[in-house]
Each structure stands twice: as structure tokens, then as C-alpha cells.
Structure 1
Amino acid sequence: MPHIPLPQHLPGITGLLEYRLDTALPIRELTQILLRGDSTLTQAERELIATVVSHGNECKFCTTAHTAAADLLLGETTTAQQVKTNPDQAPVSDKMKVLLEIARRVQKSGRNVTTELIEQAKSLGATDREIHDTVLIAALFCLYNKYVDGLASVTPSDPGYYATLADRIVNQGYLRPQKGFDHLNKQ
């Protein structure tokens, strides 16, 4: 049960963002830019960053949501699972493996990102912007994970919920729909 009153038809982060539309707006805009905006990292790669950070923070809602989004973007379910459980064997580029390691280190503490790790990423072709965005996505998802779990937001157990959510975030993005979310209220 959430620590504050939230719309029952909006579990996870959505209900929290609806609670304070003024604070939600800049967070949503930043997320849209980072995960759906122009980048040399694919949308799937950026969702994988969100997935590994959320997994490391043990945020079930965010891990499940962004795993589903990555799976939808990739058209398969193996990669996201492997980056969470066996990253060295994951079917991603060596550059992406190092970027995911940077994200995992940010998840624990930004101070864990070393010059050597950054140089390794650069030697594999990572650009300064890719490194910047990896760190910022990782930091943003630490915020999201703590927001969702810190207010005990509802975490659905139905996999169908996450498939629908993944479709919405992949195909409509992270911005609030102009008419809000009342259409999701089935009461």
C-alpha cells in the first residue's frame, strides 16, 4: 500500500507523477530526451541502461517495465535478461558492455566510475556524449527507483500490465498524454 494516496488505476511511477504534475513535467521531459531523443545509442540500448540500474537497485516495478520496453524494441527477450544476470555473455557490443558497467557503477556510487573505465569505453568507440548520457540515464533511474520504492508505489504482478506499459512508452514516449490517464480508470 502506498505511503500517500495515489490513483489506484495508475500503479508504479505513473501514479506518483500524476500526484505532482509540476514536478513530473521536468522529469518526464528529461526522460523523453534521454531515452527517446536523438542519440547514437539506440532506444533499446538506453532502455538496457535503465534496466540494469533498476535491477541493481532491486526496484521490481522499474526493472520489469524497462525490461519489457527493451524486449519490445529488440524484438526478443534474451538480451535484457542477460545484461541483468550475465552481462559478460550478453549479445551486445563490447562498447555497450562497458557502458552498462559504467551504469552499474553509477548505480552504486558515481565515484565508482574510474578514469580507466572511461578510457576503456572510449577505446571501444564510446563518444563523450554516449558516456555523459549513460551516466545521466543511470542517475535518473536511481531517482526513479528510489521514488517508486520510497513511496511504496503499487507494483503489479500481471506480466500483461508491463507489456501494455512497454507498448505505451515505446510507441508514445515518456511525456504525459495531453488528456492524462483517466482513460485507464476502469472503475
Structure 2
Amino acid sequence: MPHITLPENVPGIRSLVMFRPDTGKHLYELAQALLRNDSPLSQAERELIAAYVSFRNSCIFCSMSHAAAARFLYQDENQTVDLVLKDYQQAPISEKLKALLTIAGKVQADARTVSEADITLARNAGATDRDVHDTVLIAATFCMFNRYVDGLGTLTPTDSATYAQMGERMGTLGYVLPTKP
């Protein structure tokens, strides 16, 4: 049950954005820039980083919705998402993405632990400065989003079909400011 009065039956961050559209607009613009605008990382990879960080933060709404978006974007390789969340080091992803997920995990736990060795490992696997930058910013942003969603006790659906619909919407439309529930 939400800790403040939010639009009824609107889950997660959508309810918060509808409660404060003046700030929500900027949050959605940031999500759009990070997860949908041009980047050397694919949209699926960026959604996967968001889902991974949210999973590590135990934010059910964000981890489930962004995992669903990543599954939608990975299409025929959608099982990759669950394998990454289970153990990314054993998942069928590139060494570059593994190195970037290591960095994202360190940002989530304690950003000060990201080391030059972590960056070198990512670079040696093919990551650019932009890849590293965007990974760190996605991880840091989702730590904030996760705390925002959970700190206000937003509605968290329990059925996977709802998340699949969210994932398809996010994967198709991106992050568009909601105007109604």
C-alpha cells in the first residue's frame, strides 16, 4: 500500500510521475535518454543493466518491468535475461557486457569500489568510454529510481502478464509521460 495518496491501480514509478508530473517529466526524459536514445550499447543491453541493478536492489517492480522490457527487446534470445539475473558470469553474453555488469554491480553496492582494473577489463573486452559512462549512469539512476519506487511503497503487481505488457509498452514506446491511468 502506498505511503502517500497516489492514482489508484497505477503501479510503480508511473504513479509517482502522475503524482508529480513536473518532476516526473524529467525522470522519464532521463530514462528515455539512457535507455532509448542513440548509444553504442543496444536498447536490450541497457534495459538488462537496469534490470540487473534493480534486481540487486531487491526492487521487485523495477526489476520485473525492466527485465520484461529486456526480454521483449532481446526477442528470440529473451531467455538471456533470466540467465543474466541468475548468474551473469555464466550467461551467454559478451565478455564486454559481463565486464559492464560487474561495474554496474559495484556502482549499486558501493560506487567507490569501481577500480581502474574494472575499467581496464571492460576496455580490453571492447568497451568504450561511452559504454562505461552509460553503464555507470544507468546503474546510479536505477539506484535512485528503485529507492523512489520502494521508499513510497508504490503498487507492485504480482502477475507476470502485467509485467510482460509493461515490457512490450516500454520496448515499443520508450518512456512517454503518462497522462492517465
1:142 to 2:143 alignment: yes
Aligned mates of 2:26, 2:37 — CA distance in 1: 15
| Other-structure match for 2:128 | 127
Aligned mates of 2:168, 2:84 — CA distance in 1: 21
| Other-structure match for 2:163 | 162
1:174 to 2:179 alignment: no
TM-score by length of 1: 0.93
| Other-structure match for 1:81 | 82
| Other-structure match for 1:185 | none
Aligned mates of 1:9, 1:168 — CA distance in 2: 17
Secondary structure at the counterpart of residue 89 of structure 1: coil
Per the TM alignment, residue 80 of structure 1 is displaced from its structure 2 partner at its CA by 1.0
Secondary structure at the counterpart of residue 147 of structure 1: helix
| Other-structure match for 1:4 | 4
Q: Which amino acid aligns with 1:107?
A: Q
Aligned mates of 2:176, 2:144 — CA distance in 1: 17
Per the TM alignment, residue 167 of structure 1 is displaced from its structure 2 partner at its CA by 1.2
Per the TM alignment, residue 78 of structure 1 is displaced from its structure 2 partner at its CA by 1.8
Aligned mates of 1:131, 1:102 — CA distance in 2: 8
| Other-structure match for 2:109 | 108
Consecutive unaligned residues of structure 1, counting only runs of 5 or more, are: 183-187
| Other-structure match for 2:69 | 69
| Other-structure match for 2:95 | 94
Secondary structure at the counterpart of residue 22 of structure 1: helix
Per the TM alignment, residue 118 of structure 1 is displaced from its structure 2 partner at its CA by 0.4
| Percent of paired sites with the same residue | 50
Per the TM alignment, residue 52 of structure 1 is displaced from its structure 2 partner at its CA by 0.7
Per the TM alignment, residue 77 of structure 1 is displaced from its structure 2 partner at its CA by 3.5
Q: Which amino acid aligns with 2:180?
A: F
Aligned mates of 2:102, 2:154 — CA distance in 1: 28
Residues 50-108 of structure 1, C-alpha deviations (whole Å, 9 max, x = no match) = 01100000000011001111111111442111111111111110000000111011011
Contact 2:9 2:155 in 1 (8 A): no
Q: CA RMSD in A?
A: 1.0
Aligned mates of 1:107, 1:95 — CA distance in 2: 18
Secondary structure at the counterpart of residue 44 of structure 1: helix
TM-score by length of 2: 0.96
